[in-house]
Structure 1
């Protein structure tokens, strides 16, 4: 019997299906999950035991109709567990992980259900289904086969055991990382140690210290990636080294937050699972159901890019050494803690640009309303209205109603901008509700960033990187808002992992478009637009430091591929995480100590606690499509409504209901070319 007082078990009383987070308490989640699990188990049991011959309606569509309550409860909870993971929420997450894994396996490995799906799939040639329905049948059959539904009972039992253990390990990895990131935040006693930072950055450090009970001191919280943004501004080398050292230590210290044994067990279990499923490695298993198809194709691309990227990074280092020598000798040469700092000096000397000095032109509210939203309105006709009457899951999260060009309701957009100790690192988009004609739902999408929050009354001034991140994540949000499908499995960003970054990367193109930039990049005090001369120099410097940027990314992508290309025996033989990393980076020629990998293994959340295992290559893979798409927009007039409508209709709007490369060819008229990417990153020589 369900609890009538549990707000998760009844229909939401909030507009558009927004969960009433004011009424939901932590103790409501696990009971709601248990009810939702049982409800879907009963629904799947009815499908699997149906005496009628399997059809699309009674098998595939019935499966799509199932699990509605579970989707609601899960999306509601996991939004909170990533963005406001209090100790109580973390305990629930740990208890829930194996339950979710077991529930998923119970469906995907059900032999009776698999037999019905296979029979519908076998009859496709004689069916009169719509293209979306045909594709759904194909995807369900591949999904179940890929999950192991064709295995015998003994193998399925072992597979379920491994999946359960992996769910616990990935949750543990994320919990360890969050705790160690908070513990390793760098505390400065003297404001002089923060020399070089702007008023807002110092204010944010003071606020972070005060929030931790250390008034009068200054705390620099750590970002997810290795290179902290403040390394570009901190003048004291000792301060830079402290921040970088803390960043690189995460998850690698002996003790309760040590992620090394956790990730080694993850790697071994993933390799064993892949072998059980008939694949040589986890990478082979993952890429077999992505657009890449084979890890060797990925490895070839990464190697093709690594050599020129490393060469360009060495050229950049030579220039950094020259600039540094003009100020003070660096007996040990340019180190990883120095690269960003002296890069800004080279940028200033070469292009007369100080990126830190640009922050007064990037006030957060203007960037959001007059940049991100304005570009979307110009391109797609959609509009935004903040709904202060609609509470989100945290007081810092803001809700906006999104209307389509005809004034009809499109969805809700939630922005959660600021960092806090309970929020995991990085930036991401997720859905609380996905659009589906079958379920009659409209989308609710969330963007999370980790911008330091200054003291009350002090404006939030973004770095150029943070502006880029906001535009990027909003590209994911647009994908979630625009996808218009019948079936929940195809909703929003439910596309192949190595395609999902494409729409978000495309949205970055509008940052420096003159008609957009002039609208949002205005000085916080004078209101003057960013001078045209600076814009020209920014554009001229677009390929600047790309040797470093490409190398640090490729190093991380290669680490991911290296870990997940191991066979079972190879995975069992690895005992030293640091030694494995070093060997992998030597193998691809990206082992320069001054250019560290964007993520080291012990804090590589994308692949050890997120959904990017054997898939971190997706960013560069998608960027081939992105650069080619930017070229198309340039060829067709840029920021014009007709262009936006075409991109929305043929790519964003189809969600996962069509093969992504087929959708791309429909939009572009041909396959993507790699040359625009090579030119963008300065890798054409």
Structure 2
């Protein structure tokens, strides 16, 4: 018996992780593909095509395949192993081929085209019309109008891209897991906080090196070392290890993979009559074309760069005065920035961490959601989970009715990729009289508890928690008919609005008072400390903004440049980001080979979305500030017009409905402290 193919006899039909074995995935995928093909075949045999028997039935087809695939790929990101990675290399091409079989099916497209051509006569709701438009466009954008040879080549490209993206991610994960900075001399730990040292000692024990300290490239290990370690040479060593990932000329090198991926994406776009891959992607974004993106990035760069230069000059002068440092290098920035921030604002991570114990912070994020939207979270230990660190919650609405299942997975481990993300195991939709409620997860890499301390979050980790939870709210509060338009299924440069706006509550006293209490004394965080957090919020905002812009420029360059002109990855990267360079480049290092967002995730030609959404979130949060951060009317409007709506309507329409007008950049410029650059 394969549990993936049976009805899930679990609370809320959640994934039966306790029964699933690695060997179940491939046969389940193959069988689910067969089922999905039968469903497509049935659609094609229907009588005269109409909206329900063609568009709606297509939308609802492949349900089992979608469910099994989501479980599999979520495991490949959060709890992978060599067997799962091997399976992914086999499963991804199967799914890609099946997707092509559907999207390139001439008979199926003919039915869709007939329905689409009579759309003016159909009495469709706004949501139904959006589904029709999206379905028709997805076929066009995936080769439905190509001739036989074009369709054949598109299939080959999609198969290759599927394999290359997986290989890219596997290489980064292996590189991250294989590196260790082993410290034997206690003097080399100078400057590191007690909790960081204890965590490194615990890591050493886990890796069979008792009596030593081990630091890795996982964020909770890497970031504290770069922030506090006084040993400059070791900071340099760790920095170079981090920034040479998957670019060492060995079997894990991603540079040739990058070249092949951008070449294939470019070829795919040209097959479909687009000038480049960026143009293909941006056709379905709020920022409609490359010019709009580049104008947006250049406008921000113009405002942020002078401030960033001033920040680096101040930091270099501070380092020179403090330690006689002649020249500030990239591995010095985090270390001296933390000390300068403490000097200017009397606030740093070590001062704040005792107030942000993980369990207390989780309760805080739940209470914030309850005050805004009336929803509650109850841990449910009967819901199966895929790792002992994962907790599952039942989410209920303001009337106590079931709303969603929420999984929380917070600590690093060998089978989990770096970073933080939100994902969905099951989306929300309505089918007839039955509504399917979503199963949503957030996955992070926070500091683990030690033998003497609970998990204490840096303030940056607190904002990450709120950020990913904002995405989760977008999924949990979804209220649509069609799953492909529900929750986070929105334009990519709109999807970050719910996550980024939620970070704003972390800086507000009324929110922090809910949960920021000293883990030992229970003492609430003081008003003075909150004021210092707010004042420090703009610290090095110029630098951070320029760094984000440089990554967005790099992304756009990869996906709009003629690939034949990309010879050396490091040289290309340096050339396209030099307008945003603040410190001397470090020979041999580069970001591209581990830039998973664009080569493994879904941000190709979309990394600008983070800054784009910052404009939206700063502008939207201004309304909460005007009316009160827990104002019920504003919260309900945000829920009804943004979170619940998903992709039913164009995001510009949804945003204007909430805000009463289109977004304005002034709020972001003001919040980031960049307005001083204007003449």
Q: TM-score range by the shorter chain?
A: over 0.9
Farther-moved stretch of structure 1 (424-433 vs 356-365): 356-365
Deviates more, 1:72-81 or 1:595-604: 595-604
Q: Which residue of 2 aligns with 1:678?
A: 669
Cα distance between partner residues in 2 of 1:599 and 1:450: 23
- Between the aligned partners of 1:17 and 1:534, the Cα distance in structure 2 is 45
Instruction: State the secondary structure of the residue aligned to 2:424.
Output: strand
Show the counterpart of 2:376: 383
- Residue 165 of structure 2 corresponds to 170
* Secondary structure of the structure 2 residue equivalent to 1:400: strand
Map of 2:283 onto structure 1: 288
Matches within 5 A, 1:240-279: 240-279=235-274
2:538 counterpart of 1:529: no
Q: State how far apart, in whole Å, the 1-side matches of 2:286 and 2:52 are.
A: 29
Determine the structure 2 residue equivalent to 1:433. Answer: 426
Contact 1:560 1:614 in 2 (8 A): yes
Matched, 1:16 2:12: yes
Q: Is the 8 A contact 2:244 2:589 kept in 1?
A: no
Query: Secondary structure of 1:401's partner?
Result: strand
Is 1:354–2:348 an aligned residue pair? yes
State whether structure 2 residue 440 is matched by structure 1 residue 461. Answer: no
For the 8 Å contact 1:381–1:405, the answer to whether it is kept is yes
Question: Hey, what does 1:312 align to over in structure 2?
Answer: 307
How far apart are residue 64 of structure 1 and its match?
1.5
**Residue segments in structure 2 that go unaligned for 5+ positions in a row:** none
For the pair 1:47 / 2:39, whether they are aligned, the reply is: no
Partner of 1:64: 59
Structure 1 residue 659: Cα displacement: 1.2
SS across alignment from 2:440: strand
- What TM-score do you get using the length of structure 2 for normalisation? 0.96
Higher mean C-alpha deviation, range 212-221 or range 389-398? 212-221
Quick one: which of 377, 386, 392 aligns to 1:399? 392
Match of 1:475 in 2: 470
1:199 is displaced (CA, Å) by: 2.7
Note the alpha carbon deviations across 1:196-219, whole angstroms, 9 max, x for none: 222322222222222222222222
**SS of equivalent to 1:308:** helix
Aligned partner of 1:632 in structure 2 is 623
Contact between 1:551 and 1:595, CA under 8 Å: does it hold in 2? no
After TM superposition, list the pairs within 5 Å mapping 1:101-120 onto structure 2. 101-120=96-115
TM-superposition CA deviations, 1:562-582 (whole Å, max 9, x none) = 11111xxx3023220000001
Return the alpha-carbon distance in structure 1 between the equivalents of residues 139 and 219 of structure 2. 34
Q: Deviations over 1:329-349 (max 9, x none)?
A: 123x11111111111222122
* Alignment CA distance shift 1:598-1:53 (3 Å): farther
Alpha-carbon offset, residue 610 of structure 1: 0.7
Q: Alpha-carbon deviation of 1:533? A: 1.2
Contact 1:434–1:480 (8 Å) recurs in 2: yes
Q: Secondary structure of the equivalent of 1:462?
A: coil
SS at match of 1:137: helix
Offset of 1:511 from its aligned partner?
0.7
| Structure 2 residue aligned with 1:6 | 2
SS of structure 1 residue aligned to 2:429? coil
- Shift in Å, 1:291: 1.3
Deviations 1:31-76 (A, max 9, x none): 00000011111111222343x2210111001101211111110111
C-alpha separation in 1, matches of 2:587 and 2:306? 15
User: How many angstroms apart in 2 are the aligned matches of 1:682 and 1:397?
Assistant: 39
Which residue pairs with 1:97 in the alignment? 92
- Aligned pair in 2 of structure 1 residues 537, 455: CA closer, same or farther (>3 Å)? closer
Alpha-carbon separation, structure 2, partners of 1:224 and 1:110? 45
Deviation at 1:117, TM superposition (A): 1.2
Give the superposition deviation at 1:456: 4.0
Which position in structure 2 is the counterpart of 1:338? 332
Q: Is 1:646 aligned with 2:640? A: no
Structure 1 pair 494–225 and aligned structure 2 pair: CA distance change class (3 A): farther
Mapped partners of 1:592, 1:395: distance in 2 = 43
* Contact 1:226 1:598 survives alignment (8 Å): no
Where does residue 202 of structure 1 map in the other structure?
Answer: 197
User: What SS does the aligned partner of 2:410 have?
Assistant: strand
Q: How many residues align?
A: 674
What is the TM-score normalised by the length of structure 1? Answer: 0.96
d(CA) in 2 for partners of 1:596, 1:238? 16
- Give the alignment partner of residue 495 of structure 1, picking from 485, 490, 500: 490
Distance 1:498 1:192 in 2: 47
1:605 corresponds in structure 2 to 596
The answer to whether the aligner puts 1:668 opposite 2:659 as a matched pair is yes
The one-character-per-residue Cα deviations of 1:411-455 (angstroms, maximum 9, x if unpaired) are 111100000111011100000111111263111101000113233
Measure the CA separation in 2 of the matches of 1:101 and 1:115: 22
Q: Structure 1 residues 227 and 23, CA, compared in 2 at 3 Å: closer, same or farther? A: closer
How big is each residue's C-alpha offset from its partner over 1:327-385, in whole Å with a ceiling of 9 and x where there is no partner? 22123x1111111111122212222222332111111111111x211100111111111
- Residue 76 of structure 1 is aligned with which of 71, 75, 85? 71
| 1:654 match: secondary structure | coil
1:319 positional shift: 1.3
Give the whole-Å Cα distance in 1 for the aligned partners of 2:75 and 2:259. Answer: 28
